[in-house]
Amino acid sequence: VEFTKVAADPSIVNLGQGLPDISPPNYVKEELAKASAIDRLNQYTRGFGHPSLVKALSQVYERVCGRKIDPLTDILVTVGAYGSLFSTIQALIEEGDEVIIIEPFYDCYEPMVKMAGAKPVFIPLRYKNDGNSASSADWVLDPAELANKFNSKTKAIILNTPHNPIGKVFTREELQVIADLCIKHDTLCISDEVYEWLVYKGKQHIKIATLPGMWERTITIGSAGKTYSVTGWKLGWSIGPQNLIKHLQVVHQNTLYTCPTPLQEALAQAFWIDYKRMDDPDCYFYSLSRELESKRDRMAQLLQDAGLKPVVPDGGYFMIVDVSTLNVDLSDVDAKQPYDYRFVKWMITSKKLSAIPLSAFCGPETKRQFEKYIRFCFIKKDSTLDAAEVILKNWNKQTV
Amino acid sequence: KKLKTLCLSLQAKMSRPVHSRRLEGVDKNIWVEFVKLAATYSTVNLGQGFPDFPPPDFLKEALMTALSGENHMLHQYTRAFGHPPLVKILAQFFGKLLGQDLDPMTNVMVTVGAYQALFCCFQAFVDEGDEVIIIEPFFDCYEPMVTMAGGTPVFVPLRPKAPENGKMMSSADWKLDSAELASKFNERTKAIVLNSPNNPLGKVFSQEELELIADLCVKHDVLCISDEVYEWLVYDGKEHIRIASLPGMWDRTVIIGSAGKTFSVTGWKVGWTVGPNRLLQHIRTMHQNSVYHCATVAQEAVAQGFQREFMLYGKPDSYFVQLPKELQKKRDCLVQSLDAAGMKPIIPEGTYFLLADISNFKSDVPDNPNSDEPYDSRFAKWMVKNKGLAAIPLSAFYCTAHKNNYSHFIRFCFAKEEATLKAASDILQKWKQEKTSP
């Protein structure tokens, strides 16, 4: 919330908050216009999810997961993936529970777990390489360290793959390590997969729920905002076994009851269009990641040209970079804040470029480890990246 | 390795109890059941509260304009606490009505329907050990929301007094007993929920009644959660009085409103809270940790709708003048049909609901002493299955302990096209004839 205020200034090149400034595909916008024109679609729909939407979601995900998914009992439509995280945590987590959170983490996990009365237990991704070109794949969990975090109080682990902010796409082997521990300790897995389609060449998004023994204990969360570049539609979904989803539905019926109808109808229609072409490379699920891959490569190049060492992501639309190597004089900026907060504040004011400090994504113990990093968002139109290029190319020149 | 995988699969099922204790006692929901019944059986649905007539043209146009414009950023996140054009006009509009200078950034917050506003209020203000006074009959979500927040709901009923001279009963005939109300307040009372105009009864609380409540709130330092979603739907020249405008109340009241009810677009799920910053700040915290943002494009259109209404306020073309005028006619039409058929309606002063006493039809659905289910619920289910007419039992709006207090009323929604109301009338007439003919 802090940083969106600062970056609302149009003279600042905003690579901070994760929202596209590219247009959603035309057919998505058209479907919303069509849905809104139908009178009854402006009134309440089914609370747990508009029928045509849950049907479409079940079809798409049956295909992806290779298992039957009941649209009425195995799916809940929520207000964004954010709403799914909230419903899941409120439904399944309480005082006395511990929840494992992998650092860096999407910042809402910690307050949501705390609000449910539970204790967050952090484990950091650690950078294992020392080479020149850093990739998100270089950031890994230490299996022994991870195993140590599990105990009889562990209710759940939150997994985010592809990962925000690093862009890591967990491999099958890495997921198996997590799955083995979940099964051994009878733990839930909350799998935030909002960036599931944004995976770059050579990588594959694997759903932990498809590993043996995991469907029964996993809630998989998805997002229309990230799938279709419509973050402002705030529609997400939770998919899982009926005996878990039914509890999320209880939370939902006691919090907001139903999600907006025309948006759900439009989303359903968009899903049908893409479901029918899931064998076709033009399917938006694949074409968007192709479009983003070239933006990713361009962003990485710009940062490298400015003398920085970006961590090239295997997925998602964020890129992190260590900025301490620039040795910028931050003595004028609020000394009490972590390095990256101060750097970003300075960068917004003097370079008119915004990003998000990585320590926003860490627990208290790990802030030191990540405070040299900032996060850039690259799901931006060419003119935005052009403007960023100008700033980065002129970085070493004196500021006016 | 294969054997290991097999062993792990066998252990796969979650063996420990999985759900959190906060869900205890809040899992039942009348709407899930009754909406399904209506969808399956009803030919005329006067059950769930939504209009079957179209939203106003100006609002549909506002949405189309927003969608067809150059600005595709309307499909992206907007300000989390409310889209700036919307909070600005809400602050202006309600500031004028309340006689308060409202800051759009701190005195207004947009929510996913009034439902989510209620949720944020209970979560923000109610803790274990707190009591919350709920006036019966009540919109059913108040009770589970208070319970889920760890609070204790304390119920106080509106009590009907039969009107003289065989006049038709009005929602005004249902009143709070002032001594009874006062007795519910104590040092544990954190808040009272006020719903005026009241769903399901249609009561519009009078100045005196609101003063009674306000005095107690001030005396006991209690918050008031004021659900005013039907604020524009008041009939017979009655006035909707906002309790927040009474002395001592602005600082302790959160007002909740709804675009769904205001503009006949229940499916847009846009609501809002208005109140002092000292209260809204906690609602904002709750919002940012549960939903964070509300959908942008609907907020943009609702802002346009309010701009229009601000310009036309009080004028005959105002939707806030036209809608209640239309609905009053529909109310009168349904009242007449029910009366003619032998169901005794309670004439509502506001909202688009009314209650009807079905005592004359009891022979069709005999009492069942073995059933736990309240009579009116069994009646409503029988009616939708056998007559195709959907309505909601009044017991849905009472706590478990009081569900059988008024067991022969059902609630009808009359925000319906003429054709729908005519079809309802036909069903009722036919039913009456079946009862009277040999």
CB atoms < 10 A from the CB of B259, how many? Answer: 29
Determine the residue among A255, A258, A261 to mutate to test chain B binding: the one whose Cβ has the most chain B Cβ atoms within 10 Å.
Answer: A255
pLDDT at A129: 67
| Lowest model confidence (mean pLDDT) among A37-41, A165-169, A340-344, B354-358 | A340-344
Residue of B12, B19, B60 with shortest CB distance to A92: B19
Nearest residue on chain A to B32, alpha-carbon basis: A47
Nearest residue on chain B to A209, alpha-carbon basis: B12
Co-location of A16 and A83 in the same domain = no
pLDDT at A394: 87
Co-location of A42 and A175 in the same domain = yes
Co-location of A146 and A214 in the same domain = yes
Residue of B8, B16, B74 with shortest CB distance to A183: B8
Distance from CA of B434 to the nearest CA of A (A): 33
A32 vs B73: CB contact, 8 Å cut-off?
no
Residue B177 pLDDT exceeds 80: yes
- Angle, CA A366 vertex, CA A203 and CA A355 arms, to 5°: 65
* Element containing residue B223 per DSSP (H, E): strand B223-227
Residues in chain B: 438
Contacting residues of A for B287, CB less than 8 Å apart: none
Co-location of A8 and A108 in the same domain = no
CA–CA gap between residue B116 and residue B118 (Å, rounded) = 5
Contacting residues of A for B23, CB less than 8 Å apart: 91, 247, 250-251
Co-location of A270 and A299 in the same domain = no
Report the CATH number at residue A215: 3.40.640.10
Domain end position, chosen among A246, A276, A306? A276
CATH of range B57-312; options 3.90.380.10, 3.40.50.1700, 3.40.640.10, 3.20.20.70: 3.40.640.10
pLDDT at A369: 84
Nearest residue on chain A to B50, alpha-carbon basis: A43
Mean pLDDT, residues B3-24 taken together: 68
Mean pLDDT, residues A89-108 taken together: 97
Residue A132 pLDDT exceeds 70: no
Co-location of A74 and A195 in the same domain = yes
Mean pLDDT, residues B225-251 taken together: 98
Establish if A400 belongs to a structural domain: no
Contact B333, B120 (CB under 8 A): no
Co-location of A248 and A289 in the same domain = no
pLDDT at B165: 85
Q: Any bridge partners for residue A192, and if so which?
A: A160, A221
Determine the residue among B2, B7, B10, B22 to mutate to test chain A binding: the one whose Cβ has the most chain A Cβ atoms within 10 Å.
Answer: B22
Residue A1 pLDDT exceeds 60: no
Reported confidence tier of residue B438, pLDDT bands at 50, 70, 90? low
Co-location of A157 and A252 in the same domain = yes
What's the whole-model pTM score?
Answer: 0.95
User: For chain A, what is the domain count?
Assistant: 2
* A to B CB pairs, distance under 8 Å: 197
Q: A139-185, pLDDT tens digit by residue?
A: 999 999 999 999 999 999 999 999 999 999 999 999 999 999 999 99
Distance from CA of A177 to the nearest CA of B (A): 12
Mean pLDDT, residues A80-89 taken together: 98
Domain end position, chosen among A248, A276, A304? A276
Residue A231 pLDDT exceeds 50: yes
Mean pLDDT, residues B98-114 taken together: 97
Give the residue among B31, B97, B77, B63 at the shortest CA–CA distance from B392. B31
Nearest residue on chain B to A29, alpha-carbon basis: B67
B119 vs A229: CB contact, 8 Å cut-off?
no
Mean pLDDT, residues A352-369 taken together: 90
Establish if A97 belongs to a structural domain: yes
Domain end position, chosen among A223, A249, A276? A276
Nearest residue on chain B to A236, alpha-carbon basis: B291
Nearest residue on chain B to A218, alpha-carbon basis: B14
pLDDT at B3: 59
Co-location of A217 and A354 in the same domain = no
Mean pLDDT, residues A283-291 taken together: 96
CB atoms < 10 A from the CB of B312, how many? Answer: 16
Q: What percent of chain B has pLDDT over 70?
A: 96
pLDDT at B326: 98
Determine the residue among A36, A99, A172, A173 to mutate to test chain B binding: the one whose Cβ has the most chain B Cβ atoms within 10 Å.
Answer: A36
pLDDT at B9: 47
Reported confidence tier of residue A398, pLDDT bands at 50, 70, 90? low
Mean pLDDT, residues B351-377 taken together: 93
pLDDT at A128: 83
DSSP tag of A252: H
CATH of range B22-55+319-436; options 3.90.1150.10, 3.40.190.10, 3.30.420.40, 3.20.20.70: 3.90.1150.10
Co-location of A152 and A182 in the same domain = yes
Reported confidence tier of residue A395, pLDDT bands at 50, 70, 90? confident
Residue of A45, A234, A256 with shortest CB distance to B293: A234
Q: What percent of chain A has pLDDT over 90?
A: 83
Co-location of A159 and A302 in the same domain = no
What contacts B165, CB < 8 A, 6 or more positions away?
none
A33 vs B68: CB contact, 8 Å cut-off?
yes
Residue of A44, A83, A251 with shortest CB distance to B291: A83
A186 vs B9: CB contact, 8 Å cut-off?
no
B291 vs A46: CB contact, 8 Å cut-off?
no
Report the CATH number at residue A373: 3.90.1150.10
What contacts B77, CB < 8 A, 6 or more positions away?
A17, A19, A225, A231, A232, B293, B296
Q: Is B353 left (phi over 0), alpha (psi -120 to 50) or beta?
A: beta
Tokens of B402: 């009081």
pLDDT at B28: 87
Average pLDDT value for chain A: 94
pLDDT at A332: 81
User: What is the complex's ipTM, to 2 decimals?
Assistant: 0.94
DSSP tag of B290: T
Establish if A11 belongs to a structural domain: yes
Contacting residues of B for A229, CB less than 8 Å apart: 75
Co-location of A260 and A287 in the same domain = no
Establish if A189 belongs to a structural domain: yes
CA–CA gap between residue B152 and residue A184 (Å, rounded) = 39
pLDDT at B245: 97
Mean pLDDT, residues A232-256 taken together: 97
Q: Which domain holds residue A228?
A: 26-276
Contact A306, A316 (CB under 8 A): no
Nearest residue on chain B to A112, alpha-carbon basis: B289
Q: Any bridge partners for residue A127, and if so which?
A: A139
Reported confidence tier of residue B2, pLDDT bands at 50, 70, 90? low
Contacting residues of B for A227, CB less than 8 Å apart: none
Is the pLDDT higher at A5 or at A144?
A144
B-proximal residues of A, 223-242, CB under 8 Å:
225, 229-235
Phi, psi of A324 (to 5 degrees): -65, -25
Contact A237, A221 (CB under 8 A): yes
Residue B294 pLDDT exceeds 90: yes
| Lowest model confidence (mean pLDDT) among A195-204, A358-367, B45-54, B347-356 | A358-367
Mean pLDDT, residues B393-416 taken together: 95
Reported confidence tier of residue A322, pLDDT bands at 50, 70, 90? very high
Establish if A399 belongs to a structural domain: no
Contacting residues of A for B141, CB less than 8 Å apart: 254, 257
Reported confidence tier of residue A329, pLDDT bands at 50, 70, 90? confident
- Whether B22-55+319-436 and B57-312 share one fold: the answer is no
Nearest residue on chain A to B261, alpha-carbon basis: A43
Distance from CA of B8 to the nearest CA of A (A): 7
Distance from CA of B425 to the nearest CA of A (A): 22
The full set of domain ranges for chain B reads 22-55+319-436, 57-312
Q: A25-49, pLDDT tens digit by residue?
A: 999 999 999 999 999 999 999 999 9
Is residue A398 within 8 angstroms of chain B, CB to CB? no
B75 vs A213: CB contact, 8 Å cut-off?
no
Reported confidence tier of residue B11, pLDDT bands at 50, 70, 90? very low
B289 vs A93: CB contact, 8 Å cut-off?
no
A42 vs B54: CB contact, 8 Å cut-off?
yes
Tokens of B283: 């609602």
Helix axes B375-387, B30-41, angle to 10 degrees: 20
CA–CA gap between residue A221 and residue A236 (Å, rounded) = 7
Mean pLDDT, residues B47-57 taken together: 96
Please classify residue A73 by burial: count the beta carbons closer than 10 Å to its beta carbon, then call 0-12 exposed, 13-18 middle and 19+ buried.
middle
pLDDT at A4: 62
Average pLDDT value for chain B: 94
A186 vs B14: CB contact, 8 Å cut-off?
yes
| Lowest model confidence (mean pLDDT) among A159-168, A239-248, B15-24 | B15-24
- Angle, CA A60 vertex, CA A58 and CA A64 arms, to 5°: 110
pLDDT at A400: 44
CA–CA gap between residue A119 and residue A132 (Å, rounded) = 38
pLDDT at A368: 85
A90 vs B22: CB contact, 8 Å cut-off?
yes
